[in-house]
């Protein structure tokens, strides 16, 4: 069961509801929509899906320009209610196209921690060749401890295995300079931890050493581990550079009449290239390390993107990513039989 925040996103609720319906019809995912019931009922009726979709009432909405403070300001928001559904065991994962900052803050506050993972990491899939690369953390935890980077490595491996079918994922550490001693204090210590034998029953990570900013799109490792500050700067730099390159390319290819004629001959190739360089092409981000995964779709998501996000959330749930992480970290289930510890313990 996937809880879908029907009110998050530039095209909410119409495109979100349509996407959730498509996921349920086409991918066999069962969804619970959160939002104002009267408004959502109208949208559902318009889609001719009267009895197919269930709605859980949430009166408040987090705006797309709201940040982390929304977690305190809006206890009854559609995203907070979606988290509550996971916390109470009515759903296993959440999909939202709302503000990333607000979603991360609300999920950290409302969902339980995974044992052995004190802070969540945001995983983003970069469209590298020949295989995609998982960048984690892309912005959930700005000041992690070195140990947390090792945990992010385990979260990334679990994600690559469950969502991308990676067989023996290799983990790189994002830093400056290739040698082990290079970097800042955080990465030098994290390098030592990643390179040493795992502690306390954790499985070993296939650590491939340091990678640099220039390796982000090289596809040389399966997972790139970093703190949420550096990861967010790097991801946005990547997106900004691709946008810059695409704009420059467009002007180069249409600068003269001859060039414009040339561009006509390249229509197909250019369209494909545009799709590949598209800043949004890496798909949604997955917030991992909490008792329940949150798939954060782009703010501008249409029904199709929401449907894909629901399918990703369902596949992470089916692949039992949280149990997978627990085993990787060698953490025993809680004595009370729950796999999740309360954040405040």
- Positions touching a copy of itself (CB under 8 A) are 67, 101, 139, 142-143, 174-177, 179, 181-185, 187, 212-218, 226-230, 232-246, 248-249, 251-253, 255-256, 258-259, 261-266, 268-270, 272-273, 276-277
Q: Are 326 and 291 in contact (CB under 8 A)?
A: no
Interhelix angle 228-253/267-277, rounded to 10 degrees, is 160
Strand (E) or helix (H) holding 4: strand 2-5
Provide, rounded to whole angstroms, the least separation between the CB of residue 167 and a copy of itself: 25
Q: How far apart are CA 146 and CA 314, in angstroms?
A: 31
CA 99/CA 306 separation, integer angstroms: 15
DSSP class of residue 215 equals G
Q: How far apart are CA 29 and CA 318, in angstroms?
A: 11
Chain centroid to Cα 325, Å, comes to 16
Using the minimum distance from each CB to a copy of itself, give the nearer residue, 187 or 307.
187
Nearest distance in Å: CB 149, a copy of itself: 14
Least distance from C-beta 164 to a copy of itself, angstroms? 20
CB of 129 to a copy of itself, least distance (A): 9
Which CB, 72 or 244, lies closer to a copy of itself? 244
Of 45 and 273, nearer to a copy of itself (C-beta) is 273
Record the tokens describing residue 108, joined without a space. 């950290």
The pair of three-digit structure tokens given for residue 326, joined into one six-digit string: 């627990």
Which lies closer to a copy of itself via its Cβ, residue 260 or residue 318? 260
Whichever of 69 and 203 has its CB closer to a copy of itself, that residue is: 69
- Rounded Cα gap, residues 343 and 345, in angstroms: 6
In the complex, the smallest distance separating the C-beta of residue 321 from a copy of itself, rounded to whole angstroms, is 25
Provide, rounded to whole angstroms, the least separation between the CB of residue 246 and a copy of itself: 7
Q: Is the Cβ of residue 47 or residue 277 nearer to a copy of itself in the bound state?
A: 277
Based on CB atoms, which residue is closest to a copy of itself, 85 or 224? Answer: 224
Q: Which of 167, 95, 169, 159 is nearest to 124 (CA)?
A: 159
Q: What residues have CB less than 8 Å from 168, skipping those under 6 apart?
A: 206
Distance of CA 13 to the CA centre of its chain: 21
Comparing C-alpha atoms, which of 179, 178, 118, 127 is closest to residue 150?
A: 118
Smallest distance from the beta carbon of 227 to a copy of itself, in angstroms?
8
Residue keyed to tokens 């009895």: 51
């Amino acid at each position: 069961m996937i809880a879908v925040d029907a009110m998050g996103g530039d095209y909410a609720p119409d495109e979100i509801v349509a996407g959730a319906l498509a996921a349920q019809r086409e991918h066999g995912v069962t969804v619970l929509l959160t939002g104002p019931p009267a408004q959502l009922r109208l949208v559902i009726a318009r889609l001719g899906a009267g009895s197919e979709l269930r709605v859980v009432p949430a009166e408040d909405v987090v705006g797309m320009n709201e940040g982390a403070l929304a977690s305190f300001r809006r206890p009854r928001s559609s995203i907070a209610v979606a988290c509550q559904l996971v916390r109470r065991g009515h759903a296993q994962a959440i999909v939202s196209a709302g503000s990333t900052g607000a979603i991360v803050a609300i999920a950290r506050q409302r969902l339980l921690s995974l044992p052995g993972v004190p802070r969540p990491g945001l995983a983003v899939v970069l469209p590298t060749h020949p295989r995609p690369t998982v960048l984690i953390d892309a912005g959930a935890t700005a000041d992690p401890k070195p140990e947390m980077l090792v945990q992010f490595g385990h979260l990334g491996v679990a994600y690559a295995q469950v969502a991308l079918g990676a067989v023996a994922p290799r983990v790189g550490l994002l830093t400056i300079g290739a040698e082990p001693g290079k970097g800042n204090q955080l990465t030098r210590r994290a390098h030592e931890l990643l390179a040493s034998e795992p502690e306390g029953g954790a499985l070993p990570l296939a650590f491939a050493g340091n990678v640099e900013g220039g390796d982000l799109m090289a596809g040389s490792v399966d997972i790139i581990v970093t703190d949420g500050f550096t990861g967010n700067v790097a991801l946005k730099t990547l997106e900004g550079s691709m946008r810059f390159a695409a704009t420059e390319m467009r002007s180069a290819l249409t600068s003269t009449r001859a060039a414009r004629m040339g561009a006509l001959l390249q229509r197909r190739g250019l369209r494909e290239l545009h799709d590949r360089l598209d800043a949004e092409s890496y798909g949604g981000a997955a917030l991992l390390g909490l008792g329940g995964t949150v798939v954060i779709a782009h703010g501008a998501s249409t029904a199709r993107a929401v449907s894909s996000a629901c399918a990703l959330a369902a596949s992470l749930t089916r692949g039992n990513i949280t149990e997978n992480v627990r085993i990787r970290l060698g953490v025993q289930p809680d004595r009370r039989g729950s796999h999740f510890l309360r954040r405040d313990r």
